[in-house]
Every structure is written in C-alpha cells, then in structure tokens.
Amino acid sequence: MAQVYDRVALIGLGLIASSMAHAMRRDGLAGQIVGYAKSAETRQTAREIGLCDHVAESAAEAADGADLIVLCVPVGAMGAVAAEIAPVLKPGATVSDVGSVKRTVIEAVGPYIPDGVHFIPAHPLAGTEHSGPRAGFAELFDNRYTIIVPVQGSDTDAVARLSALWQGMGALVEEMDPEHHDLVLAVTSHTPHLIAYTMVGVADDLRRVTDSEVIKYSAAGFRDFTRIAASDPVMWRDVFLNNKEATLEILGRFTEELFALQRAIRQGDGDHLHDYFTRTRAIRRGIIEAGQDTDAPDFGRGKARKE
C-alpha cells in the first residue's frame, strides 16, 4: 500500500492511536508519525516503545506541519484540543477524530477549524478493554468497520484520502450522517456498555453473594459483562454525557423489553420467552456471518488479541 499522508499527528496515545501507529507503519501509510499525550508518563512510555517517530511536548507542536491530525482524546476534551491546535494547522491539512459520538464532537471541534483545513470526523468500531500506548496492535482494525462522517461542505478528495488510510489499515469503510451514527452506536455499543456496568454493579450490591463467589463462579455471561465494564471510565463518562438523547431513547426501549420479559417469566409464558430468544439468537448468527465475530467457544479470544 502506498503512502497516503506525509506527516500524521496523533493527539492522545491510547489504544486506538497506538494501534493506528502500528497499522500505518505496517503498511507504509505515513511518512512520519508524530504523537502527543497529556500525561508525561504516557509520553515517556511512547518514547520507550518507539511508538512514534517523534513524541511532542504539546498538541500544537504535534499538529504543526501535519497533513493529518487525528484527535484520539476523550470526547469531552476534543473542543479544547481543537482550540489549541487551530493556530498551527496548515492549509490543506485534514483534522479527524476517533470518537464514539459524532454530533457533539462536530459542534465542539467544528468552530475552531480554519478555512482551508478539512474537518472529517470518523469512528473506528474496534477496540478492547485495554488502554494506553502499550495496548495497541496493528491488526486491531482488520475487517472492522470505520464510519466516516463528513460534515457539510467536506471536500470529496479529502474524504477519499482519509478513507484510503483507514482501508490501508485494514478497515471496512462506510459513510454515515452524525445523528444516525449516534443512534446506531447507542444500540450497538453505548447502551450495552451501560447495561454491563450496571450488571457488575448489581453483583457488587448483592451482599448475599460474596466477592469470592462472584469471582470464582463467573460463568461466561457475567465474565463477558466484566470484560466490557473494564473499559476506560473517562472515555465512557464522556460518551454518555455527549450522546444523551440517543442513549436514553434506546435505554427506554430496553426497559420496555425488560418489563415484557419480567411479565413472561412471572406468568410462566414459555412461548413468549422461546420466541424472543429465537429471534435474538438470529441476530448473533448474523454478526458471525458478517465476519464481525467468531462462533468459537471462547469467541476466538483465547489466543487472539482482537475483539
């Protein structure tokens, strides 16, 4: 794969940014990779492992002269970072992000983007419960979707170039408008995470079940809840605060479904339960057939690092 950008700046050096660095280097997609993280400890770790060609001491230093700047910070911090880097953005550069919410990111970042600079939000639907610069690996995006969310007036050539980068990193690329993206993610990611956090919290509250029993007897269901609930708390706090409407809409729908299942269990309505579980099982089969997971007994996660 040919080089797509001469100089790429990664602002924030967690799982996604570090995986991007590895994937770009694997496929020769960037001439130079510059990184910056707010934490001095994270910057030092990035230097120790050789994650980037250069680790800057500020977001502005990293962005100065870059052809692509990717904001890989929590959603709530993106506006402040955009304000800092705005004065050094060169004409023709592209600013993108990897946030799990799009409408509020566009509202926070958009006003700081100078004329002549392209702003093209994006969201790779890939990840693990691990975080930090050591967590990344080049294969994270292979056969996983990245949603590109062009804003009004986005330059088609700049969008195509960003798409080429993500495809070069192994992703399947699709475009979507911001409101629909946020609704889709509320269904597929945000609400499931909220439910996982809640279920783990419920187990912690059930004092009749001791901590040691919860740990020792965790069958696959609860074990997978705890895997999801181990995700970065700052990132998920910002996701819920910035995708309120869609998350609350899907949470309301979830509550209705839960009440219906409660009623079926209380009334001994086996037909309703069987029909419901049959329908939901078909969705799982569809995910496997689409190549977005494996039907291996351990979900293929026993040896692989990918989600």
pLDDT per position as a tens digit, 251-290: 898 899 999 999 999 999 999 999 988 888 888 788 777 7
pLDDT at 306: 40
Residues 57, 77: Cα–Cα separation, whole Å: 17
Kindly state which CATH superfamily the domain 5-176 is placed in: NAD(P)-binding Rossmann-like Domain (3.40.50.720)
Residue 305: pLDDT over 90:
no
Residue 128: pLDDT over 50:
yes
pLDDT tens track for 201-256: 777 766 666 767 776 776 667 777 777 777 778 888 888 888 888 888 888 988 99
Q: Between the CA of residue 228 and those of 23, 144, 200, what are the distances in Å?
A: 24, 18, 10
pLDDT at 297: 56
pLDDT at 83: 98
Share of the chain above pLDDT 70, in %: 91
Residues 32, 105: Cα–Cα separation, whole Å: 26
3-state secondary structure of 96: strand
Residues 299, 307: Cα–Cα separation, whole Å: 9
pLDDT at 216: 72
Residue 27: pLDDT over 60:
yes
Residues 150, 95: Cα–Cα separation, whole Å: 11
Residue 131: pLDDT over 80:
yes
Among 9-18, 227-236, 290-299, which stretch is predicted with the lowest mean pLDDT?
A: 290-299
Fold observed for domain 180-267: 6-phosphogluconate dehydrogenase C-terminal fold (1.10.3660)
pLDDT at 300: 46
Find the mean pLDDT for residues 74-82. Answer: 95
Q: Break the chain into its structural domains and give their ranges.
A: 5-176, 180-267
Among 95-104, 153-162, 180-189, 212-221, which stretch is predicted with the lowest mean pLDDT?
A: 212-221
Find the mean pLDDT for residues 122-147. Answer: 91
Residue 175: pLDDT over 80:
yes
Looking at 49-155, list the stretches that DSSP marks H as alpha helix, in order from N- to C-terminal side. 59-63, 78-85, 103-109
pLDDT at 84: 98
Pairing of strands 54-55, 118-119: unpaired
Phi-psi region of 294 (alpha: psi -120 to 50; beta: other; left: phi over 0): beta
